[in-house]
Amino acid sequence: MKKVIFVACLTLCFSCLNKESKKNKPSALTELTVEADTLDIAQGSYYFSGDYRAVDGKATFKDCITGQTIPVSNCAAYKQIAEAYHHLDLNTAEGVYCELMGFQIEAPKSSINTHNHLVITSLIRFARTAACRMGVITNTHYTALLKDSVEQKITLSLLPNYTYNIKCEEVNTAKIIMLETGDWHRLSDENIVLLTNGEVLYQGIIKFTNLDLELFNNNKQLLHFKQE
């Protein structure tokens, strides 16, 4: 099994509050598409795409894949991204399509918003003419059949907070073989990974045509997960 090593998220957040990040203003900020690398991608950072907007100095991000709107933490690459967004010269409170790398942390105890906060570690691009090209894959059930020594049915639920539940049972007897929970993430536009206790359980792709999942298990068996 692959071992996925995570960095300490809070260390990054506290350190960024004490030190100003190096200013690197991207060029051609008024063009339709802005691309700017802001930081090296940290271990534990994952891909997000969605609608970024800022009102009165507070930024939010509406995630394409979950449909959830979450607050953006004001640390890590936040300052560079806020500057790039400002130079786009958008209308007040107008959102813009954004692709980025980052991770989620629990909301601070002082926050009135109980949703997780998004820490952005790297901006891939702002694109004024682009939009989410897929539907939501959360809050639905996926199923797949595994024809092993005993035929098995696998039921997968991806939750908006980037956790999942999975159950494997025998088709003929309904005997439960496995119950598992963990975290899921996007590694790129179409690549997805499911982790349990820091180890890869499934990995594969999201099919944009129908939002089905094609995932390999640890035995390198390809499973086709379809929405119920």
* List of domains in the chain: 9-127 (2.40.50.540), 141-227 (2.40.128)
pLDDT of 92 reads 64
Q: How far apart are CA 161 and CA 101, in angstroms?
A: 16
pLDDT in tens, the chain (228 residues): 444 443 334 344 434 434 333 333 333 333 333 333 333 334 579 999 999 998 887 899 999 999 999 999 988 888 889 888 888 888 766 789 999 999 998 877 666 666 789 999 999 999 988 998 778 899 899 999 998 778 999 999 999 999 999 999 999 999 999 999 999 999 999 999 999 988 999 999 999 889 999 999 988 999 999 998
Q: How far is CA 206 from the centre of its chain?
A: 13
CA trace torsion 19, 22, 27, 32 (10° rounding): -30
Sort residue 174 into left (φ over 0), alpha (ψ -120 to 50) or beta.
left
Q: Which pLDDT does position 111 carry in this prediction?
A: 62
pLDDT confidence of residue 112 = 63
Single out the residue of 118, 96, 94 nearest to residue 106, CA to CA. 118
How many CB atoms sit inside 10 A of residue 133's CB? 10
Give the up-direction half-sphere exposure of residue 43: CA atoms within 13 A in the CB hemisphere.
Answer: 7
